[in-house]
Amino acid sequence: MERNNDEDAGNEALHTWLNKRDVSLTSVKMYSDKNIVNILTSFLIAKGVRKAVVCPGSRNVPLVNNMVEAEQIECFPVTDERSAGFYALGMSLRLGEPVVVCVTSGSALLNVAPAMAEAYYRHVPVILVSADRPKAWIDRLDGQTMCQSGALKNCVKSQADLTEYADDDKLAENLSVLTLNRCLNEALGQEQGPAHINVHIDEPLFNFTVSALPHARSIDALAACNDVSDDVRGLIKKFIAADRRLIVIGQLPYSSRQLDITIKQLRKYFVILNEPLSSSYSVPFDKALLNFDSSSSNESIDFLLTMGETVVSKTIKQYIRSCRIAEHWEINDAGKIHDVSLQQTGILRCSPLVFLTALLDEAAKCKADDKVGMLPFEEAWTKRIDNVQQVVDEYEPPFSQLSAVRKLELSLEDMEYDYDVHYANSMAVRLGTLYSQHYIWCNRGINGIEGSLSAAAGFSVVSDSMVFCVIGDLSFFYDQNALWNRNLKGNLRIMLLNNGGGGIFSRLKGLDAQGEGQDAIAGLHITNAKGICEQNDVGYISARSEEEYREGLVHFLTETTSRPMVMEVFTSVADDNAALDGLNKMIIENR
């Protein structure tokens, strides 16, 4: 955000144009006199952009004005760029379409980096549009003239640097058209991802004299056909023929019910290890590896199939890296190699759902001929998982973060409204994978604590369902500006798990010997969310005991409000650890 005093007029101008959203659509639309701004606006519309998160400033006023004026684009103002990027991420996740986040020049661009990195690793089409100073003034001690072009090159799938051109400069216009087509087609292609479009804009900034946008010569890209080829069938038959088979599925974009059904049916024949970040039909397999020692493991796997992005479980990655793997094939749309096992032998460019559906069809045929069934290796895995699931279902932990998440998830199963649940990173999502019977939304692209609340908030703004966000204290307070926003509605409900610091650090081997240094590592604090909620007109409930939690949960789940609601659950690290240790002990004893 530009903060120079001499640019206050630009900020005032932005808010004036934002208020014009309420003007009748029959009023005359007036766009910027900047050719490059107008052609960019046309391209965003042509490529399917219908929502834009806009941040204040003056250099980006021509861009924001055009988006506000365009009937096809709905604008959502967010003051803090750090939140704005995650708002756009949340909107794009919910809508399944590209969403713009528009920022002004200078350090404002850098504040969006965490959100763009998250979008990059989760293949979310967030389109970052940044205003920039003229190239002639970069690095010449003029205000806010950092080098913005390529500043986020490691966080985006594609990028473009645009400059203004004269009306009669057709070559420059054609170059801009080519640049925009290449950039947006790559970001919105088969393997989607974020894009950064940097626009150099000359002064004057506030001339709006053009009544119509130019035509966007959109060059559309065709996605490759994703059918069951001979290569797919050959790999499937080879997998079925193996004795020690394993399928591991990481985070996948929210999909249709078909993926859940396919995974459920495949479990009749194979072991599939997946978390609710890929499908609502999942198993708590991480706990099946309790006391796993990678240094002493020498297990063999004949055929490992992996697909999807990251898994929350660190233990499963340690496990497969410790095994001797004869063949490891990865399945993804882009044909991109990740080599999670460090022993990968092949990559198949195919949709996970297409592949799993074909695997199910072939397994059903082989079953009819008595050629497929659970083998000893798979039976052992299945027994371990079933034992874990039995303990998780039966164990009633004392008041703790574990019990709070358990009771929330059990209560959600009885709700008669549609809902989506976001979990923040670190301990929160690990608790969620134990109890969730639905798909989990989580920023696992790079696993950062920033932006979890903003992504959920942005998701809620464009959703008609109830949107829950379960979040730890450090993540919440880091991202508290997500609540500093006028767009929020009463469908956003935030369960804040506050145990006075990063409780997960107390469970990491080696850190328990750090003494006073552990306080700094864990970010210990005595902060609560009551004041934050009051200043942002957000409902607030607190619970410091089992009785208060039960009473508050009823209001949290059922009360109708026009603004978001926070339920802050206060626990201690000692109680949280005791609850988890009790669960782990029962699992080990139940083997």
Q: Which of 81-85, 184-188, 395-399 has the lowest mean pLDDT?
A: 184-188
Average pLDDT, the chain: 89
Residue with tokens 């590209």: 98
Residue 290, pLDDT above cutoff 90: no
* Structure-model confidence comparison of residues 9 and 187, the more confident one: 187
* Structure-model confidence comparison of residues 524 and 193, the more confident one: 193
Residue among 177, 300, 170 nearest 245 (CA): 300
Tokens (6 digits) for 342: 């460090």
Residues 6+ apart with CB under 8 A from 219: 181, 185
Rounded to whole angstroms, what are the CA distances from 125 to 63, 89, 95, 290, 446?
19, 8, 11, 38, 16
Q: Which helix (H) or strand (E) holds 344?
A: none
Q: Using CA atoms, how far apart are residues 468 and 492, in angstroms rounded to an integer?
A: 6
Q: What is the pLDDT of residues 223-257, one digit of tens each?
A: 555 677 788 888 999 999 999 999 999 999 987 68
Say if residue 204 is preceded by a cis peptide, omega within 30 of 0.
Answer: yes
| Confidence class for position 512, pLDDT limits 50, 70, 90 | low
Q: Using CA atoms, how far apart are residues 522 and 533, in angstroms rounded to an integer?
A: 24
E-strand ranges in 333-394 read 346-349
Q: Using CA atoms, how far apart are residues 395 and 401, in angstroms rounded to an integer?
A: 14
**Residue 140, pLDDT score:** 73
Q: What is the pLDDT of residues 343-364, one digit of tens each?
A: 999 999 888 999 999 999 999 9
| Confidence class for position 522, pLDDT limits 50, 70, 90 | low
| Confidence class for position 506, pLDDT limits 50, 70, 90 | low
Q: Which of 81-95, 488-502, 509-523 has the lowest mean pLDDT?
A: 509-523
CB 273 within 8 A of CB 291: no
The crossing angle, in degrees rounded to 10, of helices 573-589 and 401-412 is 70
CB 522 within 8 A of CB 505: yes
Residue with tokens 């500006």: 481
CB 279 within 8 A of CB 306: no
Residue 12, pLDDT above cutoff 70: no
443: DSSP letter: -
Q: Using CA atoms, how far apart are residues 149 and 366, in angstroms rounded to an integer?
A: 56
Residues 137-165: what's their mean pLDDT?
86
Q: Using CA atoms, how far apart are residues 68 and 274, in angstroms rounded to an integer?
A: 43
**Residue 21, pLDDT score:** 42
| Confidence class for position 280, pLDDT limits 50, 70, 90 | very high
CB 232 within 8 A of CB 350: yes
Q: How many whole angstroms from its chain centre is CA 77?
A: 21
Residues 276-290: what's their mean pLDDT?
93
**What's the distance, Cα to Cα, between the start and end of the chain in Å?**
57
